[in-house]
Chain A
Amino acid sequence: MKRKDNDSDIIIDELGISRRDFLALGAKTAGVISLSSLGALWTRAAFASSVNTLNVVSWGGAYQFSQVMAYQKPFTKMTGVTFNNIEKAASGPALLTAQEQTGNVSWDLLDILQAPASRLYSQGLVHEINYDKDLPPAPDGTPATEDFVKGSLGGDGKTGGFVPEIAYDTLLSYNKTAFKDKAPQSIKDVFDLENFPGTRALQKIPAGNLEWALYADGVPRDKIYEVLATPAGVDRAFKKLDTIKQDCIWWTQGAQPPQMLASGQAVIASAYNGRIFNAIAADHQPLDFIWDGALYEWDGWVIPAGLPKDRLALAMKFLAFSTSTKQLAAQAKYIAYAPARKSSIPLIGTYYKNPKLEMMPFMPTTPEHLAVAIHKNASFWSNYGPQLKQRFSAWLSS
């Protein structure tokens, strides 16, 4: 970054060609420009002028705020590159597929879960990343493939499309004021209407609910997906869900469950652990976690395939910057999601609004939490997701 004020120079530096080469290249190709390529050139030119802005798609709310604070602000300060934040991650895979079909990919980075990322990668829709080459090592020199937590990277672990940022939990939580004598502590308690009466708010998708139903029915955590892959196992899970169906309401947006708990619409709710943390730490709501059976999974970046060279180079640069040890640790100041790099963990500090509140005990990946968690099986949901979702809809409306 010799000259911060001129962005096109930065891009050319990144590509390793000088301005003179660049111009010479232009002169040579000018002779063979056909009419059909004029249109392409025109769009290229339109993008070239806007290449100091990255179009980033993420989930909105407190999570996107943490990304803005931990990644985007320092990156803008360093390079002058600005960001256009889009809150479309929930339908990101569908929209990216549509963009690819119309040949007009306008996004530079997309923040999604591991399972859809691997589906997009195997369809050739996201850019392939060589983890050790494209991502920086840990400060002590440990290469990226060893620094990221095992199983969090996409593809075969060496190359792939997915670069994880955080691990998060979908877990059960409850309103403390609703349970005076005895609070629910386990998934079994969640399914126990007699001792813990009240409305449950659950996410309107089969993932999570089916696992919890089997777990509450006595299936050990490491056997859940084995059982769920059989028709009898699916029947068993729905039968268990039947027992609490009358007392359930269903949410679709991550912001709903803390609000439902706080307003008394529900006494127990499944939720993303970061949202519950925010409700407790920032909004001082009387909520608490049930760590038993917390369903944990990875979330991170993909870059759409087929970006023009200059945009790709800039996106890759931001990708490497945002998933470096320091930036992942910085994100943990703003939200209780665990960084995907091992080297970031010792750097986790306190909550940005309250310097006395240590973030570490709220992370999904502490040994105590991992000991009782269910690791969400991405490949199971890739295979059986569509069918189970269909059956779940039929069950809900029956």
Chain B
Amino acid sequence: MAATSPETLTLEGGADLKRALRRTERRRRLGAFSLTVPLLLFVLVFFFLPLFKMFWLSIANPTIPEYMPHTVQALRDWSPSTPVPEAAYKAVAEDLKHARADHTFGRIAKRLNEEQPGSFTLINKTAMRISRVDHGPWKAALIKIDKAWGEKPIWRLLKRQSAPFTADFYLASLDMKYNQQGQIVQKPVYDRVYVPLFIRTFWMSAVITLLTVLLGYPLAYWLTALPDRTSNLLMICVLLPFWTSLLVRTTSWIVLLQGHGVINNVLVWAHIIGDQHRLKLIYNQFGTIVAMTQVLLPFMILPLYSVMRGISPSYLRAGISLGAHPARAFWKIYMPLTLPGIGAGGLLVFILSIGYYITPELVGGQSGQFISNMIVYNVQQSLNWGLAAALGTLLTGAALVFYLIYNRLVGAGKVSLG
């Protein structure tokens, strides 16, 4: 580099110092970034991808387009107010023959039955018998197999299911459905499951959160006031159950609370209650609330404790020395300072508890079930993964909304968890 201007600093050998510095800087930044790449990939693969997949499952509707392509084609221009064309009958016959040969007609039957009970038999029967029919007219042939083919509801259903995306699963999650005329209506009262369950999940979680605050706040305050050695010992008592398996803690509540459990037996033994009047302490909402409050208590105590540790006792003393009653000083000075702790603990406990599954399953009975128990049912028993995904997406959405509200009120930046 012979033509360097006098202002630029050059290294021995003529290299531009600025550029060299920049290059080194860039290399260092790249090195730092590459250290975070594994984490980034991990979050992408194990967090965002499943979330995206869940959202996708809740709206995707691939069954009918995939297994009944001719029918989808034939119904494209059909409007439910006009008669069903012969071409559509022919397409259904063709598709079901294929599906019978490929053993896929059960997938069609299952999907349609999820929306319209009774479709399972209709499709299975039609697929079995249409294979023996070689030529049209197809309308007559199908109606001969089942007169449902002569009526509108099944065609309306097929037309609706022809779309590659669907709102069906969200409608079902909100206890709504299409009626025979194809309008969206609320389900009859006796069939409403999910909305009442969502409401119950939220209010029971709120009760549990409140209880953890009421129990955790004085304890955390006490822990900060005690000398270090005692407080460390007590901290272990808080953390010990935290380190015990969730399953063990839940089943020990069963041992304590059940009809012939420890508490009832003691009460009967002490003649406080009669043998015939044992208290119903478990397999109901009460059992769920008690067990979950205990399970989630450390999630409240830890953030509260960490916030309280940072508050100097001299603030309170100053308040009192200026003439305030200790209770007033506590309420006006100390309490507001602990709000970020209450906020962080509350958010943690609330969001954890709306997604809880094992504890309600084991001790909740019927009245103490949460929405997650229904999600598991739809994944494992009814195999309606679309519905499970829609419920899961709604639950995730709710958690996000609560987080945003919290962020607005308290501010996520103020939270310190350790």
Contact = CB atoms under 8 A, between A and B. Distances in A.
Given A249-B283, A393-B374, A386 B384 contact: yes
B106 A384 contact: no
Contacts of A387: 117, 191
A249 B280 CA distance: 12
Contacts of A124: 102-104, 106-107
Nearest to B367: A397
Contacts, number: 82
A382 B381 contact: no
A119 interface: yes
Interface stretch (B108-116, B335-343, B350-358): B108-116
Interface stretch (A20-28, A91-99, A132-140, A179-187): A91-99
Given A250-B366, A394-B193, A91 B104 contact: no
A53 interface: no
B190 A121 contact: no
Contacts of A122: 103, 105-106, 109, 124
A117 to B, nearest CB: 11
A390 interface: yes
Interface in A78-126: 91, 93-94, 97, 119-124
Main secondary structure of the interface of B (DSSP, over half): helix
Contact count band on B: 35 or more
Interface string B121-146: 10010001000000000000000000
Nearest to A116: B383
Contacts of B124: 122
B120 interface: yes
Given A94-B383, A397-B196, A123 B374 contact: no
A393 B118 contact: no
Given A386-B382, A386-B384, A393-B374, A121 B103 contact: yes
A119 B113 CA distance: 12
A104 B283 CA distance: 39
Interface string B354-398: 000000000001110100001001011111100000000000000
Considering residues A120, A394, A398, which has the most beta carbons from chain B within 10 angstroms of its beta carbon? Answer: A394
A224 B264 CA distance: 42
A263 interface: yes
A265 interface: yes
Contact count band on A: 20 to 34
B110 A119 contact: yes
Nearest to A199: B259
A386 B114 CA distance: 7
Interface in B87-103: 102-103
A76 interface: no
Contacts of A156: 128
A384 B118 CA distance: 7
Contact of A390 (B104, B191, B283, B369): B191
A389 B374 CA distance: 11
B106 A383 contact: no
A383 B366 contact: no
B193 A393 contact: yes
A386 B107 CA distance: 15
Nearest to A264: B260
A352 interface: no
B121 A383 contact: yes
A123 to B, nearest CB: 4
B119 interface: yes
Interface in A146-184: 156
Interface in A350-398: 379, 382-387, 389-391, 393-398
B260 to A, nearest CB: 7
A385 B114 CA distance: 10
B366 A397 contact: yes
A123 B102 CA distance: 9
A263 B260 CA distance: 9
Nearest to A395: B190
Contact of B120 (A97, A238, A382, A396): A382
Interface of B: 102-107, 109-110, 113-114, 117-121, 124, 128, 190-193, 196-197, 259-260, 283, 365-367, 369, 374, 377, 379-384
Interface of A: 91, 93-94, 97, 119-124, 128, 156, 238, 249-250, 263, 265, 305, 379, 382-387, 389-391, 393-398
30 contacts: A91-B380, A91-B381, A97-B383, A119-B106, A119-B110, A120-B106, A121-B106, A122-B105, A123-B106, A124-B102, A124-B107, A238-B190, A250-B365, A263-B260, A379-B120, A382-B113, A382-B121, A383-B117, A384-B117, A384-B118, A387-B191, A389-B377, A389-B382, A391-B190, A393-B374, A394-B190, A394-B192, A394-B193, A397-B196, A397-B367
Given A122-B105, A389-B382, 18 more contacts: A94-B379, A97-B383, A119-B106, A122-B106, A124-B106, A250-B365, A265-B260, A379-B121, A383-B118, A383-B121, A386-B113, A387-B191, A391-B191, A393-B374, A396-B366, A397-B196, A397-B366, A398-B190
